[in-house]
Amino acid sequence: MPVAYFLVLSALLFSIGVYGVLARQHAVLVLLSVELMLNAANINLVAFSAMLGEAGVPGQVFALFVIAVAAAEVGVGLAIVILIYRNRRSVDIDEMSLMKW
């Protein structure tokens, strides 16, 4: 299959992620959307890696790295979400505007 297919898929996934970040009010859903974007980039990496054939091993390794980083990110993110939930009983990010201007 041509690489372009994967790139289109990746682009779609990335856009969905961006939409999610912009449109969702629930912190966890925003977090999920960010994960979508990361995975879209991952698809890119893997697709290019496959395109390069034998020389493309690093791309796959990097995809694994990114997955690990994403996991850590979710860990920290959820911790912050929980912290906020304990204080406010809500994780609506639109309610967080104490600091502005």
The binding site for another protein (CB under 8 A) comprises 3, 14, 17-18, 21-23, 25, 27, 30-31, 34, 37-38, 40-41, 44-45, 47-49, 51-52, 54-59, 62, 65-66, 69, 72-73, 76-77, 79-81, 83-84, 87-88, 93-94, 96-101
Smallest gap from residue 68 Cβ to another protein (A):
9
Pure H helices in the chain: 3-23, 27-52, 57-88
Smallest gap from residue 2 Cβ to another protein (A):
13
Smallest gap from residue 71 Cβ to another protein (A):
11
Q: Select 1 or 72, whichever has its Cβ closest to another protein.
A: 72
47 in Cβ contact with 11 (< 8 Å): no
Alpha-carbon gap, residue 60 to 29, rounded angstroms: 27
Smallest gap from residue 20 Cβ to another protein (A):
10
Q: Map residue 100 onto helix, strand or coil.
A: coil
- Identify the burial level of 100 via C-beta atoms within 10 angstroms of its C-beta, where 0-12 means exposed, 13-18 middle and 19 or more buried: exposed
